Amino acid sequence: MGCALHYCRARHGGVVKHRILYTKPSITEREVAYATDAAANGWGDRCYEYIDRFETLFKVHLGVKHAIATSSCTGALHMGLAALGVGPGDEVILADTNWIASAAPITYLGAKPVFVDVLPDTWCIDPAKAEAAITPSTRAVIAVHLYGNLCDMDALRDIGRRHGIPVIEDAAEAIGSVWHGRRAGSMGTFGTFSFHGTKTVTTGEGGMFVTQDDALYEKVLTLSNHGRARGQRKQFWPDMVGFKYKMSNVQAAIGCAQMERIDDLITRKREIFCYYRDRLCGLQGISMNPEPAGTQNGFWMPTIVFSPGTAITREKLQATFAAENIDARVFFWPLSSLPMFEPVASNCVAWDIPGRAINLPSHHEMTTTELARVVAVIETF
């Protein structure tokens, strides 16, 4: 008990400060009621009821023809790449600034991830660097919308058309982000989403594959069910070796409740970011998540990048936030700096930013007092 209490609270000058979490899901009685119903009654004839409903709600929100609920965004990306025929000897281009979940599925298929640099303002893939990296072995480009920030989808889709290469959207972090009237994840050959417990919309764990392509949808649908095609009349007859990436009915029940609240969930994320931005915009030497004209940022993870001249480091930031009992996440390490990949030190922006950046707490239930505590820490720098 004593250790748990110390973990949640810290004493500063005689004042006990409760811990501020960087993220946690927004769960209401609606999610609990739906999950309870699925656990008690979602079997037999009702075993897909919430899954079908969740997929429909997501399709409507996103404005796409097809959606397949999955056990993770990683699984959705894996199946999508497999359905495109990505395999040994192939290359897939993506930004060096990413979480490994965007690169791992490429390696599952025996293909090679090719890491390119990012833009200094959005921290997303640099279209010019992506195009320069194209070779005869390139099979796809993955556009990862980092922290809610949007990739330049016009430029990337133009590159894809000119080179005959599919552009895939990893929108795991971009629910609520909109690129010139189109929601993140709806513009690529296919899109993938995450419903991890840290995300704006959650099912605890889970993901979604979406596409406008009828044939691609059928391929992924077959792959998602151990290779059993939808029209196959033989019972327990797989037409190919597939995967097991299906979402459970109980998870989907939580997702249905979240989708019924999605506008409020997105709005709250944007309110939190705006609080930070409005109070920090007068400080010199910092930049935050951008929102270019014609776009809307879902602001999943408010992030501050300090300019090199400030001499502020990741380690100083972590130590100061920890001393105030506030959770803060480090900016993603460049994937090519990890031991399982070859270093690409020429990706200067991707290698430079993490050492002077931090992700700020932003869960839906943060109070104004908690937000002010976070701002006060930043002001000390």
* Domain boundaries of the chain, sorted by first residue: 29-260, 262-379
115: β partners: 94
Closest CA to 81 of 239, 188, 203: 188
What does the alpha-carbon distance between residue 110 and residue 125 come to, in Å, rounded to a whole number?
A: 23
Average pLDDT over all residues of the chain: 94
Closest CA to 192 of 10, 293, 62, 284: 62
What does the alpha-carbon distance between residue 54 and residue 106 come to, in Å, rounded to a whole number?
A: 27
What does the alpha-carbon distance between residue 281 and residue 38 come to, in Å, rounded to a whole number?
A: 46
Domain 262-379 has CATH 3.40.50.2000: no
Name the phi and psi angles at 135, rounded to 5. -130, 175
Look-up: residue for tokens 């010139």? 180
What does the alpha-carbon distance between residue 256 and residue 35 come to, in Å, rounded to a whole number?
A: 9
What does the alpha-carbon distance between residue 368 and residue 194 come to, in Å, rounded to a whole number?
A: 28
The residue ranges of the chain whose pLDDT is under 70 are 1-16
For the whole model, what pTM was predicted? 0.94
Report pLDDT for 6.
36
Report pLDDT for 14.
54
Closest CA to 69 of 228, 232, 227, 255: 255
Instruction: Locate the DSSP E strands across 134-249.
Output: 138-144, 167-170, 178-179, 182-183, 191-194, 207-211
Report pLDDT for 232.
87
Tokens of 270: 């944007």
Which DSSP category does 125 fall into? B
Three-state DSSP class for 295?
strand
Q: What is the CATH number of domain 29-260?
A: 3.40.640.10
Rg (CA), the chain: 21
Report pLDDT for 16.
66
Listed in sequence order, the residues at least 6 apart from 70 whose beta carbon sits closer than 8 Å to its beta carbon are: 76, 79, 206, 207, 208, 209, 224, 245, 246, 247
Alpha-helical (H) ranges within the chain are: 2-8, 29-41, 49-62, 73-83, 104-108, 127-132, 153-163, 214-223, 249-260, 262-280, 314-323, 348-352, 368-379
Look-up: residue for tokens 């497999």? 82
Report pLDDT for 381.
85
| ∠ Cα 362 253 177 (to 5°) | 40
